[in-house]
Structure 1
């Protein structure tokens, strides 16, 4: 089973789109984009197996690389991601956010303290530490992601949160360049190719 999971993670890595605009500023945006629908019935999920979920957390500084994740942890991540995506979708559509998604994000926010605690030792003196047991590592990561999503949704960048306009892609981005509505060069090229084909064939897109 472990070999199959690692093989699946390797296959996923080959199809992953680059981070969308804004993902460098909001880890919650990149978190929402860990799943994507691609053309021809393809797609990927970076949280599909514990190994890939663990790599994503470590790459984003949300847990130590040696922390081991289990399927229940990956499932918790996928569940919160679904709620974050629902809140992003509601914001983009100008619709009321789902109550269950608000509740889930708030529960993640309040599950554990996210601020580093103040500690003292004779060698280093006063310092800030993330003093939590390893089995709470995922809870802390989810709390951090929930807080980041709340900051995005309530801050000035909420106005430029958008969904990729290159169907069937369903990723999110921040519109940092004028009216750009696609999340990657690959999606933008697909939009331009479709428009060019429509012009040549005399149809509309």
Structure 2
């Protein structure tokens, strides 16, 4: 789930996209379009991530948003507009794959940075309009700022280590 991986590039105490090199590494790891990354591209990507995380925070309501987003969220209408504008910046045209008879959509050649932003925005739109949106949660563990998709009704944390950290924290506070 590219949208979820993109939104969770924010970690407790660090940001995987905190530098041009960090963004370039992340793009390579996720097989995204080759883009000459500079500070302007990085700022555009960070703006798109902020819009996506704002929509994630709205989607998990009435539960709490991620602790990393406190006080930094865009209003949902603005965030949705930014996501839609990024996706619309690169129109796609239908193309027939023959003899297979399948239709696929190909992006119209555009600026590589616009292609990247459109790909990330499209992933966010598909995630937020799909069935996984209902299972999206913000991890409540201490020092965790991730969003995750709940795989089981009793799943409370994004990963087992967060569950352990929460139990240790509760134990500590009970015995102090």
| Shorter-chain TM-score tier | 0.7 to 0.9
For the pair 1:158 / 2:133, whether they are aligned, the reply is yes
Q: TM-score if structure 2 supplies the norm length?
A: 0.78
Verify: 1:52 aligned to 2:22, yes or no.
Answer: yes
Instruction: Tell me if the contact between 1:50 and 1:69 (Cα under 8 Å) persists in the aligned partners.
Output: yes
Structure 1's 114 and 186: CA in aligned 2 closer, same or farther, altered over 3 A? farther
- For 1:144, the equivalent position in structure 2 comes to 119
Superposed counterparts of 1:94-109, under 5 Å: 94=62, 98-109=76-87
Over aligned residues, Cα RMSD in angstroms? Answer: 2.6
- Of 41, 45, 49, which aligns to 1:77? 45
Distance 1:85 1:111, change over 3 A: same
Cα gap change, 1:100 to 1:51, in 2 (>3 Å): same
Q: Indicate if the aligned counterparts of 1:116 and 1:131 stay in contact, CA closer than 8 A.
A: no
**TM-score scaled by length of structure 1:** 0.68
Runs of 4+ more than 4 Å apart = 114-119, 128-131
Unpaired runs of 5+ residues, structure 1, are: 1-25, 38-42, 120-127
Q: Is 2:78 aligned against 1:110? A: no
Provide the secondary structure at the position in 1 that maps to 2:60.
helix
Q: Shift of residue 171 of structure 1?
A: 1.0
Within the candidate set 75, 82, 86, 2:54 is matched to: 86
Count of aligned residue pairs for this structure pair:
159
